[in-house]
A and B are shown apart, each in its own frame.
Chain A
Amino acid sequence: DAGVIQSPRHEVTEMGQEVTLRCKPISGHDYLFWYRQTMMRGLELLIYFNNNVPIDDSGMPEDRFSAKMPNASFSTLKIQPSEPRDSAVYFCASSLGPQGRGYTFGSGTRLTVV
């Protein structure tokens, strides 16, 4: 298995533009998580899905952020319009079954909004 795959690895965009981040979880995993990592705040959970259904989006900072999971093998995190303070590394992770096994993280997308 190639693990959790995220694209793009790096994204530089201008303020006000729409940004779409993509994630392919490990096949068979039934949970998918989106995290944001910054120096100031560390790792923040934005949203997570179970069997493609959003369960908790309380970490989504603003209405500018939205996430979808149209099927078990694909999820997107969209920011529209983007702002410089959205600059961060966005991680996707997936897991199967009981939490005791932990998550598998993707390599992350480093977003820079100028």
Chain B
Amino acid sequence: AQRVTQPEKLLSVFKGAPVELKCNYSYSGSPELFWYVQYSRQRLQLLLRHISRESIKGFTADLNKGETSFHLKKPFAQEEDSAMYYCALSPSGSARQLTFGSGTQLTVLP
């Protein structure tokens, strides 16, 4: 069975500081990894996925299979980045369900 761990429930940084939200996973195969973001009282939105290797809103995430990690990073945090961030994993192949981590609440202080 797959598992996603986000070790930090809360994370606070100052505006302009770098930020890294940690995500570790356990899965025996080749997973697909995602980051979702939920702004205050809004729906969850897909932020980025490792397959596309994209940068969204200045965020990037690299899949490290050796460390089984998919940490989310941004070099200069902005106040509007304050939100709940969820890391999610989907087994490759025919399975469809996403397994989410417990989430990290990021607060960017002025």
Cβ-defined contact, A100 with B100, below 8 A: no
Cβ-defined contact, B43 with A43, below 8 A: no
> Of the candidates B45, B96, B103, which one forms a contact with A43 in the assembled complex, judged by CB atoms under 8 Å apart?
B103
Q: Chain B residues near A55 (CB, 8 Å)?
A: 96
The distance from the CB of A46 to the nearest CB of chain B, in whole angstroms, is 11
Cβ-defined contact, B44 with A91, below 8 A: yes
B74 within 8 A of A: no
What does DSSP make chain A's interface, helix, strand, loop or mixed?
strand
A31 within 8 A of B: yes
Q: Chain A residues near B95 (CB, 8 Å)?
A: 99
How many chain-A residues does the 8 Å CB contact rule pick out? 24
Cβ-defined contact, B97 with A102, below 8 A: no
Interface-located stretch among A15-23, A62-70, A80-88, A105-113: A105-113
B86 within 8 A of A: yes
6 shortest interchain CB distances as A-B pairs? A42-B102, A43-B100, A99-B90, A102-B46, A105-B44, A105-B43
22 contacts between A and B (CB under 8 A): A31-B96, A33-B98, A35-B100, A41-B102, A42-B100, A42-B102, A43-B86, A45-B99, A48-B96, A93-B44, A99-B95, A99-B96, A100-B32, A100-B51, A102-B34, A102-B36, A102-B49, A102-B98, A105-B43, A106-B43, A107-B43, A108-B43
